[in-house]
Amino acid sequence: MNNQLKSYAIIALMSSGVTLGAYSLFNLGNSSGFSDAPSAFTTSVSNQNVPGNPGEFTYAAEKTTPAVVHIKMKMEVRQRQQQFSSPFDDFFGFGDPFGGGGGRRQQQQPQEASGSGVIISADGYIVTNNHVVAEASEVTVILNDKREYKAKVISTDPSSDLAVIQIKETNLPFLTFGDSDALRVGEWVLAVGNPFNLESTVTAGIVSAKGRQNIIDRDSPDVNPLESFIQTDAAVNPGNSGGALVNLKGELIGINTAIYSRTGQFAGYSFAVPVSIVKKVSGDLIKYGNVQRGFLGVQISEVNAKLADEKDLKTSAGVYVGGFSENSAAKDAGIKINDVIVKIDGSETKSSAKLMEIVSRKRPGEAIQVTVNRDGATKEFKVTLKNKDGNTEIVKGDNSPESAKSEFLGAKFASLTPAEMKKFGVSSGVKIAEVLPDGRLEMYGLAKGSVITKINDRAINSPKEAVEALESRKGRIKLEGVDVDGSRFIYVL
């Protein structure tokens, strides 16, 4: 994918116009919080005799639309407005060098946007895109039959741009997982979603290509994009993000995520995360709260004629090993620089995208069979994958972070994850998990997701410390931190 194509890739499909105002497959037992309700993890229709001849779309459309939901999000945009302040603020050194001090307040301007999601279990688990719900302060799900529910964000994965949310309901229709590996270029597919707030919209197209990379520009430095997109020519537009890509059996084969466009509207190319990745990511988010990624620990590039000639490789297809990371699982297993990986677990790896897709399905501690071409000879290696820290441990996510409530500020605090600390550029602090109605924080316009780093010049490292500092206050309270837009603030209350 050249840079020009990359520059036109659009990922912000979720905004349809901003307006003011298998348990065994994933080892998902009851301890994961994923119930015994029927789900895409335990149900399959692949071997059933169902309609689905070329050009016959009605069966797949009727099966899919009840399980595709409309997601509406509320977000908050802050606008600072000058308010009357105490004449003693600046005199006592409580002025705000960042423009948000005691003499100013922020007013929250609500915005709304919309996207799509796919029900994957009868008890309300829904998979969608991370970019659909990542910045939302409130998420509402509208079912195909017009019932509305407030949704809880279970967890998100920026690397794959996937997220899982849940509504409290039972006996919901859900889609079954298909086989994106078996998907063929030229095969008919349907895209189902809610473009431009037009609910339950179905479009048809064919699979144009598989394993597309370099589609999405990711701004966050701690995000390593996992891209192996299914490319189709089924019409996808703003609002389709998080919706279903299905085959003619009505099986989920992908989650619609991005379009290639010069204008922001559909121009003939759309991209979906394959269900092989969706299954693994959604299962991990439900069970662990984050994605358990196994790493080979190799620096790779695709073999082409020029590289084969420069390195005197004895093959013209595969993935070239150019180096290793620290504590590399591949190096420990005996793989060497200049080896060309041609298969993993028997599946050909003719592209970096395919290799990454296969490895992404595995967790740390799992073993894979890696076939390499070394100087024209084929060699097999058993590689036990490691996590990003160089060991094989499973690390649970922080689904239930430490939290505490401050009646004085009218807010609930939660602990910061390492990723959030990196994002905001802080080494300590607490996240505002909830702003309570009519509280001091609401009055000053601080929004959910903002970070408080200091209270009365004391660095805060936990929600408990924050509440203790507030309860032991004497006189006025000085808050320092970082707003959700990255701007720093100082408030005196």
Which residues are tagged catalytic? 131, 161, 241
CA dist 203 → 60, 160, 176 (Å) = 11, 24, 19
The dihedrals phi and psi of 475, each to the nearest 5 degrees, come to 85, -145
> Which residue type is seen at 111?
Q
Distance CA 362, CA 480 (A): 42
Distance CA 193, CA 201 (A): 5
Distance CA 361, CA 35 (A): 22
Share in percent of the chain as helix, strand, coil (round to 5): 15, 35, 50
399 exposure class (CB count in 10 Å sphere: 0-12, 13-18, 19+): middle
CA dist 276 → 234, 354, 359 (Å) = 20, 11, 11
The dihedrals phi and psi of 281, each to the nearest 5 degrees, come to -65, -50
Distance CA 322, CA 256 (A): 33
CA dist 340 → 38, 297, 317, 438 (Å) = 42, 14, 8, 63
